[in-house]
Amino acid sequence: MVNIVFLAALVVLSFLTDGGCQMQLEPQSLTVLRGSEARLTCSTSEPWSVMVWLLNGATLLTISSEHGVLASGDPNVTAVEGRAAARRSSWVLVLQAAERRHRGQVTCDIQGEDQKTASLFVQEKGSVGISGGNRTVLQGHRVRLECAAANWFPEPWVGWRVNGVEVSPGDYNVSHVGPSGGLVTMTSDLGLRATESSLVECLASVTALAQPLSSRVHITVVAEVLQGQDDCTVLLTATAVLSSILLFLLLSVCIVCIVLCCRRRRRTKSNTKGTIRFNQSGSGLSSVAEAAGKVNPGYAAEGLPDDSTKGIHGQTDSVTIRMVPDVVSSRGRSLPQEGGAQVDLSEAGPKNVRVATTV
Ligand SMILES: *[C@@H]1O[C@H](CO)[C@@H](O)[C@H](O)[C@H]1NC(C)=O
Ligand SMILES: *[C@@H]1O[C@H](CO)[C@@H](O)[C@H](O)[C@H]1NC(C)=O
Ligand SMILES: *[C@@H]1O[C@H](CO)[C@@H](O)[C@H](O)[C@H]1NC(C)=O
């Protein structure tokens, strides 16, 4: 099985090389831009007399091995003798300005020997343009760029570059506007988030074009954030100044109020002191208050939670029986009296103040 395949391959190969050696048309496929030159070479190792070049079956040019190029209906279609290896002869068909009508099958027919056919593609370079030109965009905003690649043949490849980096096809779309007069127009939309000022290029190309045709626009990104910060700082400063002024006013009002109040209080206090003294002396409690004042220091010393008092307690456990009634009695007398005196002062204050404020 393997042997059979191998043999078949050998037979095909020998057949091809034999035929190739006899007659060749190169290249077998040629793509050129409209208006540019197209060259096809036909060569043979066999002796020949007439070589006919045909385009889609119609004669373009006839060459005689004796007299060279005979007649040509088109001045832009010529042929030159090629440089060939030893014992081979070759002729080159030259289409000086390839036209749309030159598309198709080009045949080299060496009469009485063989004929070979090659494909000729004539492409057309159209135009490419981003509409809108240069623009300024707010940072973070989306910008949509529209590009039109007009009058191409065949359908051109359309792509985008941002700062020299090709944009992935997922970020733009390409749609067909439709052929008009045999030419194709494509449009493409690119959605872009404005992060930094960029050079955006729309590219269009066909295979015969060495470099894609490009249209470029500059996107200037304006930092909205900075502007916002400026506004904010202005606002903040304004608010700060205003609030500090307000605070100052409030403070001064407070101070004035406090000063006024203090003055009034001093007056009222001196008044109240007078009234208290008058009351105490009037009610005859002064003696009790004085007694309470005398008892108080003794009570305070006993009430101290110090270690010294503990020691005293430990020593005078039996004594306490005698001591307690005194203390209790002094407490019983002094506390209410003292408390009464205190309460009297504190209670007398508000009462008198109330009077002072109302007056
Ligand atoms: C020959 O080519 C030139 C451009 O090189 C063109 O202007 C002219 O129309 C062509 N002539 C013909 C007959 O195609
Ligand atoms: C676009 O901007 C670039 C650089 O900022 C400048 O060189 C170019 O002339 C501008 N193009 C137009 C059409 O304004
Ligand atoms: C794709 O193309 C259509 C128009 O054909 C357009 O409305 C749409 O916004 C485009 N989408 C993107 C992501 O550019």
Q: What is the CATH number of the domain that holds 171?
A: 2.60.40.10
Q: What is the pLDDT of residue 174?
A: 94
Domain boundary among 77, 97, 123: 123
Domain membership of residue 93 (yes or no) is yes
Domain membership of residue 71 (yes or no) is yes
Q: For residue 82, how far is its CA from the centre of ligand 1 (angstroms)?
A: 24
Claim to verify: residue 279 and residue 256 sit in the same structural domain: yes
Claim to verify: residue 339 and residue 317 sit in the same structural domain: yes
Domain membership of residue 14 (yes or no) is no
Q: Which atom of ligand 1 is nearest to the CA of 76?
A: 1
Q: Which atom of ligand 2 is nearest to the CA of 133?
A: 13
What confidence category does residue 238 fall into, taking pLDDT thresholds of 50, 70 and 90? low
Q: For residue 230, how far is its CA from the centre of ligand 2 (angstroms)?
A: 29
- Pocket flag, ligand 3, residue 189 (CB < 6 Å): yes
Please give the structure tokens belonging to residue 44. 């043979």
Could you give the CA distance from residue 281 to residue 270 in angstroms, rounded to a whole number? 16
Claim to verify: residue 78 and residue 191 sit in the same structural domain: no
Claim to verify: residue 149 and residue 247 sit in the same structural domain: no
Which protein residue has the closest C-alpha to ligand 1 atom 7?
97
**What's the pLDDT tens digit per position in 302-349?**
444 444 444 344 343 433 334 433 433 333 333 333 333 333 333 333
The residue with greater pLDDT, 182 or 311, is 182
Could you give the CA distance from residue 230 to residue 221 in angstroms, rounded to a whole number? 17
Q: For residue 214, how far is its CA from the centre of ligand 3 (angstroms)?
A: 20
Domain boundary among 174, 195, 222: 222
- DSSP-derived letter for residue 124 is B
Q: Which atom of ligand 3 is nearest to the CA of 189?
A: 14
Claim to verify: residue 237 and residue 323 sit in the same structural domain: yes
| Cα dihedral: 65, 70, 74, 75 (round 10) | 90
The model's pTM = 0.58
- Pocket flag, ligand 3, residue 191 (CB < 6 Å): yes
Percentage of the residues of the chain whose pLDDT score is greater than 90:
46
Mean pLDDT of the residues in the chain:
74
Could you give the CA distance from residue 359 to residue 349 in angstroms, rounded to a whole number? 15
Domain membership of residue 228 (yes or no) is no
Claim to verify: residue 245 and residue 284 sit in the same structural domain: yes
Give 188-248 as a DSSP string: EEEEEE-SS-EEEEEEEE-TT-SS-EEEEEEEEEE-HHHHHHHHHHHHHHHHHHHHHHHHH
Claim to verify: residue 59 and residue 131 sit in the same structural domain: no
Q: For residue 147, how far is its CA from the centre of ligand 2 (angstroms)?
A: 17
Please give the structure tokens belonging to residue 359. 């007056």
- Residues 290-300, buried b or exposed e (16+ Cβ, 10 A)? eebeebeeeee
Domain membership of residue 55 (yes or no) is yes
- Pocket flag, ligand 3, residue 169 (CB < 6 Å): no
User: Could you tell me the sign of the dihedral formed by the alpha carbons of 30, 35, 37, 40, in that order?
Assistant: positive
Domain total in the chain: 3
Domain membership of residue 196 (yes or no) is yes
What confidence category does residue 22 fall into, taking pLDDT thresholds of 50, 70 and 90? confident
Claim to verify: residue 248 and residue 333 sit in the same structural domain: yes
The residue with greater pLDDT, 289 or 136, is 136
Domain membership of residue 6 (yes or no) is no
Claim to verify: residue 97 and residue 157 sit in the same structural domain: no
The residue with greater pLDDT, 91 or 357, is 91
Percentage of the residues of the chain whose pLDDT score is greater than 70:
62
Length of the chain: 359
Claim to verify: residue 275 and residue 341 sit in the same structural domain: yes
Please give the structure tokens belonging to residue 271. 């008044």
Q: What is the pLDDT of residue 310?
A: 42
Average pLDDT on 100-106 reads 94
Q: What is the pLDDT of residue 276?
A: 45
Which protein residue has the closest C-alpha to ligand 2 atom 9?
134
Q: Which domain holds residue 90?
A: 20-123
Could you give the CA distance from residue 228 to residue 42 in angstroms, rounded to a whole number? 73
Claim to verify: residue 351 and residue 244 sit in the same structural domain: yes
Q: What is the pLDDT of residue 223?
A: 81
Claim to verify: residue 154 and residue 261 sit in the same structural domain: no
Could you give the CA distance from residue 65 to residue 81 in angstroms, rounded to a whole number? 10
Domain boundary among 177, 192, 222: 222
Does 15 score more than 90 pLDDT? no
Could you tell me if residue 233 is left (phi over 0), alpha (psi between -120 and 50 degrees) or otherwise beta?
alpha
The residue with greater pLDDT, 103 or 352, is 103
Domain membership of residue 329 (yes or no) is yes
Residues 6+ apart with CB under 8 A from 220: 134, 135, 136, 137, 197
- Pocket flag, ligand 2, residue 273 (CB < 6 Å): no
> What amino acid is encoded at 274 in this protein?
G
Does 53 score more than 90 pLDDT? yes
- Pocket flag, ligand 3, residue 187 (CB < 6 Å): no
